[in-house]
Structure 1
Amino acid sequence: MSATSSRPSYAAVLRIPYARRTFAAVLVGRLSYGMVPVAVLLAVTRATGSYAVAGTVMALFGATSVSLSPVRAALVDRYGPRRALLPMASLYAVLLGVLAVASGRPGASGPVLGAVAAAAGACTPPLGPTMRAVWSELAADRGLLQRAYSLDGVAEELLFVSGPLAVGGVVQVAAPAAAVAVGAVLVVAGTFGFVTSPAVARMPGRRPAPKDGARQRKPRGPAGTVPPVVAAGGVGLSLGALDLLVLAFAEQQGHGDDVVAWFFAALSAGSAAGGLLYGAVEWRSGAPVRLSLLTAGLGLTLAGAGLAPNLAVLTGAIVCAGLFVAPALTTAYLVADAAAPPAARTRSGAWVNTAVNAGISAGAATSGLLVAHFSPALGFALAGGAALLAATAVGTAVGAGRRRGGAVGLEEGAVERAAELR
């Protein structure tokens, strides 16, 4: 089931048996995650006529989806992707269908919409973390795994750009509720194609504990999954604050909010380019060290972005900041995977994913205070400072691990597992 390559490349990743089929199917399902938030927001706004209700519904949906992600990932680790993901995806799709019907008529009840949205969020299948767990099984070579994770991260970045565009296409010919229904169909179709792939079907649930009392080998490393979770949270905090900071900067320069979308297109473009470049390089430094440096690079770039004299320079700074986003998150997933025991890979990746999303939500919530009380320049500095603080914490943990003689434990753990897979 695993594959190695003496010359890792993106083409080699896609040549792994069943990789193209598996990846294509899961991307169909994950496209739903790029569509549903925008579709639900538009549908609820049209049904209730209230931005406040729509915001509350989205907050409930996001809260249950993010907070319960490790729990859902633990179910995948315990029962295997096929037994866990299909029921989740089916229930998620049914609840989205109910939400589409309920929001398809004017005067819908806000509390009802909120309750259905919260229930749907609680059932969101962890397709991204599961796919990364599958990559760690398929790509035994560490260099190949880095490229697989980079490819996965770039694809996810593009999905979250194309998802809202797809919603825009649907609402040109139908009500926003129809886009919610399309999201439901996509997640069921993608999940079914994913779990029926031979690469996924062979992945069992958690193996029973040994009966002879032998101790299971635990992964070595200074702090387990804490450093990647901290780094991901810092990245999320910084990114979540960008929305209002960019808007405040544009208004300060005498421009309207219509230019804001271009900044986020620039961020996504930079992130995609950075992710592809990162995955193509043979790095000599360890992943934990790279994680600290990449997170710091994002923080420094964002802090400097606030000093831009005009929108053109700010756009360039945002592109440069994006160059660090996908590489930082890719490295966080690599470190988390190396630190996790085989029976907890999905859950380990889900914690990183949860940290990013929680950080984005917290950053968005606090950015209003930044805009209200500080200049955009100082707001950018504080947003970048969140990533710098996380980078410092990760660097401190890595340094402490080295002093204890376990600094390379994360890397060695990955190599040992690769040998086991072969």
Structure 2
Amino acid sequence: MSQPVVGRPSYAAVLRLPHARRTFGAALVGRLSYGIVALSVMLAVTRSTGSYAVAGTIMALFGATSVLLSPFRAALVDRHGPRPALLPMALLYAGLLGALAAASWRPGTSALLLGVLAAAAGAATPPLGPSMRAIWRELTDEPALLQRAFSLDGVAEEILFVSGPLLVGALVQIAHPAAGIVASALLVAVGTCAFVLSPAVRDVRPATADPTAAAPSPARGKGALLLGPPIVAAGVGLALGAMDLLVLAFAAQQDHGDSVVAWILAALSAGSAAGGLLNGAINWRISTRVRLPLLTVGLALALAAAGLAPGLVTLTLAVACAGFFVAPALTTAYLLADETASPARRTQAGAWVNTAVNAGISIGTATAGLLVAQLPLGLCFALAGGITLLSALACTGRRAPSSVRSTPPSVPSSIPVAVPTASDTSRAV
């Protein structure tokens, strides 16, 4: 643990924590794999099968097993410790990605074989993100330092998920798309090995589990995870999934190309990164339980207001404003889940929030796709904002169990995370 800090620590102070740079750098190397794997798999499978429909189905299988099984993989980390759980998981994941790359390199490979390999690889995805957040708490118990640590972690992860597809785009100019899958396998293997060998990780022992809380469920009575954070995370994810499709529909309605959509969604990410950094730097005087619905209401209102935009410039500003609330809302959801969970379920707590975000993204995208063909676009924005607002109201009606650890009102504590988009199928890792 670090020594208590005096005054207001900087982000640089986080990197001066013992073993922080080595551990964090290794985790980022492994997590870069998740930024490039989705697009690489999509392109490689499309080239191998010649079918976008098959590629979409296989990506859905990969994303479903990766996201839905995330809490159970995180439970293994909590139960056995990061080193015994993550290393075999990462090596299995890398091996399955290698097999998928080899199979997709050849034209005409069976879609069934590709689907089985993709689903198996997704099921083995190591939860490096939740594991790194748990290790930050091993590195320091100083609330102000911990706040900056999670802020730095979230912004760095955001950069990885934005830059990953760009790296794939450069790679496919000189190599087969399956080379991106190979690169992803190497990154996760090397990064995870370096991560678990770090002194900050290798000596971590699993906390004694509560025998009444063995099953990884977010609703299991006293000591269970609070339902509020996953509910709000699902609402935020739904807003993000709907926003991606609605922005695309708005651009098409005004006869603009797909490149414009990319710039608008980039504004969303920029707004989220700015909001996450600011949220991490503020000395909050209200509790996470109060902050969570307030931030979500801000997102809901900004999303609804985006439907009133008369043109692309105002839409871009509205989307950036909505993004400004995304990372803080998800950050606070992570924090509240972490406060609710016992030490024996800390990694799993974050994984449940991640799973809820990804589920919300999928539902939001699918629902917006159905509504946009039937209703005016402005009303679709308003409905998406309204559902997000309902998730905030649901959170206000739920109280933490008696075992919840409260953060002192004068101590800021938040955990920004990367902003998911509809194209990111492995955010819960």
How far apart are 1:412 and its partner, in Å? 6.0
Give the drift of 1:407.
Answer: 11
CA distance in 2, matches of 1:239, 1:271: 11
User: In 2, are the aligned partners of 1:150 and 1:326 still within 8 Å (CA)?
Assistant: no
* Partner residue in 2 for 1:410: 406
- Cα distance, 1:9 vs structure 2: 2.6
Q: Give the residue type in structure 2 aligned to 1:291.
A: L
Displacement of 1:312 in angstroms is 0.6
* Structure 1 residue 150: Cα displacement: 1.6
Deviation of residue 297 (structure 1)? Answer: 0.8
Gaps of 5+ in 2: 212-220, 412-429
Aligned residues of 1:158 and 1:268 also touching (Cα < 8 A)? no
The whole-number CA distance in structure 2 between the counterparts of 1:78 and 1:10 is 31
Residue 366 of structure 2 corresponds to residue 370 of structure 1: no
CA distance in 2 between counterparts of 1:77 and 1:223 reads 14
Aligned to 1:396: 397
Secondary structure in structure 1 of the residue aligned to 2:255: coil
Look up the match of 1:320. Answer: 321
Count of residues in correspondence between the two structures: 401
Question: Following the alignment from structure 1 to structure 2, what is the Cα–Cα distance between the partners of residues 195 and 349?
Answer: 19
> 1:95 and 1:75 mapped to 2: Cα distance?
20
Shift of 1:298: 0.8
CA offsets per residue over residues 249-284 of structure 1, 9 Å max, x none?
011112122311111111111111111111111010
Partner of 2:105: helix, strand, or coil? coil
Report sequence identity in percent: 66
**In 2, Cα distance between equivalents of 1:8 and 1:394:** 31
Inter-partner Cα distance in structure 1 for 2:224 and 2:76:
24
| Other-structure match for 1:72 | 73
How far apart, CA to CA, are the structure 1 residues paired with 2:202 and 2:403?
35
| Bigger mean CA deviation after superposition, 134-143 or 81-90 | 134-143
Residue by residue over 1:63-115, the C-alpha shift from the partner in whole angstroms, topping out at 9 and shown as x without a partner, is: 00011001000000011111000000000001101111111111121111111
CA RMSD, 1 decimal:
2.2
Q: Name the counterpart of 1:147.
A: 148
Q: Is the 8 A contact 1:142 1:414 kept in 2?
A: no
Q: Is the 8 A contact 1:241 1:360 kept in 2?
A: yes
Deviation digits for residues 11-33 of structure 1 (CA, Å, limit 9, x no counterpart): 22212111111111101111111
2:100 aligns with: 99
In the alignment, is the contact (CA less than 8 A) between 1:221 and 1:339 conserved in 2? no
Deviation (angstroms), 1:205: 2.0
Matched residues in 2 for 1:407 and 1:86: separation?
32
Are the structure 2 counterparts of residues 185 and 3 from structure 1 closer, same or farther at C-alpha, using a change threshold of 3 Å?
Answer: farther
1:295-330 CA-partner distances (Å, limit 9, x unpaired): 111111011101100001101111111111111111
Matched, 1:341 2:342: yes
Q: 1:22 to 1:407 in 2, by over 3 A?
A: closer
- Contact (CA 8 Å) 2:337, 2:350: kept in 1 or not? yes
One-letter amino acid of the counterpart of residue 95, structure 2: V
Q: Which residue of 2 aligns with 1:183?
A: 184
Residue of structure 1 in register with 2:4 after alignment: 4
User: Which range is displaced more, 389-398 or 286-295?
Assistant: 389-398
Greater Cα offset, 182-191 or 359-368: 359-368
Aligned to 1:33: 34
Match of 1:410, SS? Answer: coil
Q: Shift of the alpha carbon at 1:225?
A: 2.5
Q: Which one-letter code corresponds to 1:342 in the other structure?
A: P
Rounded to whole Å, the distance in 1 between the matches of 2:145 and 2:236 is: 25
User: What one-letter code is carried by the residue in structure 2 that aligns with 1:28?
Assistant: V
- The one-letter amino acid of 2:248's match is L
Alpha-carbon deviation of 1:228? 1.1
Contact 2:224 2:341 (C-alpha < 8 Å) held by counterparts: no
Say if 2:341 and 2:404, in contact at 8 Å, map to a contact too: no
Greater helix content: 1
Q: Which runs of 5+ in 1 are unaligned?
A: 211-219, 416-422
* Paired residue secondary structure (1:103): helix
Contact 2:300 2:385 in 1 (8 A): yes
- Between the aligned partners of 1:20 and 1:326, the Cα distance in structure 2 is 23
Deviates more, 1:61-70 or 1:149-158: 149-158
The one-letter amino acid of 1:19's match is A
Following superposition, the deviation at residue 2 of structure 1 comes to 4.3
Matching residue's letter, 2:46: T
> How many Å separate the matches in 1 of 2:210 and 2:366?
43
